[in-house]
């Protein structure tokens, strides 16, 4: 069975959690979080959890463990904390819990970002993977990065990703 057949058998609607990782974002100014949530809902997916967390590994790990234990949740999308600053701890916190890495996600994200912003794309450490049968995708915190990732990578493959992660 090829990828087209896999995609045809993929769920059309999946349940998601959205986490914004930032020391400065609030519900009022979390553009990226709103953009991700809106894109998911407009494409028939459910957002069953949303939180804004400080850039602190212990807080992020605690929330991830809670979400990974949540029955019915299929996807966790994070926004923020993927850069090169010492404050950016999302990737360092998420990577060790991934059972399978989806290296192509970060590679494709950086390639598409390069086409938009050039060599500054090397500073993104966006990653994707699977833990406990749930897809985890970590995006940069800018709204342009969230839009690019959602429209060009995540939404076209979300059901397919979930199908493969749960087989």
Give the pLDDT confidence of 90-116 residue by residue, as tens digits.
999 999 999 999 999 999 999 999 999
- At residue 162 the predicted structure's pLDDT band, cuts being 50, 70 and 90, is very high
Average pLDDT rounded to a whole number, residues 55-78? 98
Percentage above 70 pLDDT, the chain: 99
- Report CA-CA distances (Å) from 99 to 26, 95, 102, 132, 164: 31, 9, 10, 8, 14
Average pLDDT rounded to a whole number, residues 49-72? 97
Q: What is the pLDDT of residue 152?
A: 98
Average pLDDT rounded to a whole number, residues 123-151? 97
Distance, CA of 15 to CA of 6 (rounded, Å): 19
- At residue 151 the predicted structure's pLDDT band, cuts being 50, 70 and 90, is very high
Distance, CA of 86 to CA of 69 (rounded, Å): 29
Is 108 buried (19+), middle (13-18) or exposed (0-12) by CB count in 10 A? middle
Q: Is it the case that residue 1 has pLDDT exceeding 80?
A: no
User: pTM here?
Assistant: 0.96
Average pLDDT rounded to a whole number, residues 43-67? 98
Q: What is the pLDDT of residue 61?
A: 98
How high does pLDDT run on average in the chain? 95
Residue 36's contacts (CB-CB under 8 Å, 6 or more residues apart) are 18, 77, 79, 139, 146, 150
Q: What is the pLDDT of residue 8?
A: 78
Average pLDDT rounded to a whole number, residues 51-76? 98
Is 127 buried (19+), middle (13-18) or exposed (0-12) by CB count in 10 A? buried
Q: Which domains does the chain have, with CATH numbers?
A: 13-165 (3.40.980.10)
Q: What is the pLDDT of residue 3?
A: 67
């Amino acid at each position: 069975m090829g990828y087209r057949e896999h995609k045809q058998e993929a769920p059309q609607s999946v349940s998601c959690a959205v986490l914004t990782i930032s020391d400065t974002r609030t519900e009022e100014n979390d553009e990226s979080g709103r953009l991700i949530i809106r894109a998911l809902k407009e494409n028939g997916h459910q957002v069953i959890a949303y939180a804004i967390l400080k850039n602190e590994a212990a807080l992020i790990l605690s929330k991830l463990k809670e979400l990974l234990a949540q029955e019915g949740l299929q996807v966790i999308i994070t926004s923020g904390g993927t850069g090169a600053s010492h404050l950016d701890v999302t990737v360092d916190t998420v990577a060790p819990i991934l059972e399978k890495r989806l290296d192509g996600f970060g590679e494709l994200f950086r390639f598409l970002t390069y086409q938009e912003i050039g060599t500054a794309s090397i500073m993104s450490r966006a990653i994707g993977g699977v833990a406990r049968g749930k897809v985890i995708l970590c995006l940069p915190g800018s709204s342009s990065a969230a839009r690019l990732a959602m429209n060009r990578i995540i939404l076209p493959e979300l059901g397919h990703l979930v199908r493969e992660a749960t087989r």
